[in-house]
Each structure stands twice: as C-alpha cells, then as structure tokens.
Amino acid sequence: MINKVKLFDNITEQEKEQILSHLKTRHYKKNHILVFEDSPLDYIYIVKKGFLKIYRSYEGKELILGFASDDDILGEMELFSDNQAISSIEMLENSELYVVSKKEFENIVFENKTLLKTLLNIHNERVKQLNKRIRTLSFYSVNARLCHVLIHLIEDLDSPPYVIKKLNQSIFADIIGASRESVSKAFSELQKDHIVEYDTKKITILDLEKLRKYSDNII
C-alpha cells in the first residue's frame, strides 16, 4: 500500500485508491541500474520494498546523494524540470517498486492542489538537505561527516533500536568524500566510544545523543 508515502499524507483514502489504480508492480535484481543520470525519465517510482542508491558521477567517481527505501518516491522532482534524470539510481538489494508513467503522475498531481502543495514542500526540504550536505562536506571532519550520514539514515525511525542496513565502507567513503581507510578509522573510533556497533549485517546506533554531539565537530 501507499499509506506511508509522505507525498500522500494529506489526501483521502478514495484519492489514494485512485492513485493505486495507476500503479504497476515491478521487481528488480540487486545491482540493476534503474535510471542513468541525464537520460530521459519517463516513469515515477515508489519503493514498495527494497534499498536503492542515488548518485551522480563526477570526474570518474561516484557522488552518492542519498538512499531510498520502503515508501520513498523517486523521480517526482523531475516534474519541475525537463525530462532528464537528475541522478542515477541503483538497486543495493533485490527490490519491488510501484511504477507509474510520468504523464499519468503529472495528471494526478496537477489536478490535486493538496498533492501539489505537498510535493513543493518535499522539493524545498530536499533543497535544504542538499545545501546542508554541501556545508558538511566543506567544513566538517571525516568523523563528523560520517556521523551526519548515520543520523540521516535513521531520521525516519521514531524510537530505538536505531538499526541501519549494512553498507560497505567504500559506499560511506563515496558519500562523505573520504578514503576508505579514513572511514574505517572513524568507525573504529565510534565503536571504541560505544556510539555505534558495526557488524557483518547491520549498524546499530547505541548512543544517539553522543552521535549528534560528534556530528558538530567542525574541522
């Protein structure tokens, strides 16, 4: 269902049912690239179940912009631009997505003032997050940048335990613009201070308050 999709928070159940009637379900394998940056984007996606990486390529390297998981919507920001994808999207695990054509989605959104207002609010929030990310990459230490990412990954969790799906350290290195060795050292320090627990399957935040304090460590 789509009840937890933020974009649809303020619409009626009848309107949600109408949207569902336009959605088709698709399954994708791990490592499948759903969208390539700057390529035509003809569909909007809602993650029913899965975990995806959102990134751009810069000077031969990946710049990871974020992740998407259950109930996240993808591609809706391109409604305000041309038909080119802003970023690439890759499956980090086998995933199941709802798919709707961009044209159908445009008709749904622009005929519903509540949906359009919510979409604009989401767009503004993402711009704020991007500006915050640029500031973090520019002025904060590697440890603080890593803490910012960990906090971002658990921001939708209301209460403990704060558990993050295991991501390899090279992905964290791409996110925060640091070497894998620096990320490994940062994780070791966070574990030593009993702030996180990092094992083969997951990352658990043990002390969120302390993690927030570490995230304020400017260079």
Return d(Cα 62, Cα 173) in angstroms, integer.
10
Domains observed in the chain: 6-112 (2.60.120.10), 140-214 (1.10.10.10)
Burial of 210 per CB tally in 10 Å (0-12, 13-18, 19+): middle
Give the dihedral of Cα atoms 114, 118, 119, 122; nearest 10 deg: 180
219 residues of the chain, pLDDT tens digit each: 677 888 888 888 888 888 889 999 999 999 999 999 999 988 999 999 999 999 888 777 778 888 888 888 898 877 777 678 889 999 999 999 999 998 898 888 888 899 889 888 888 887 887 777 777 777 788 888 899 889 888 877 777 788 887 778 888 888 888 889 999 999 999 999 999 998 878 899 999 999 988 887 655
Three-class DSSP category at 2: coil
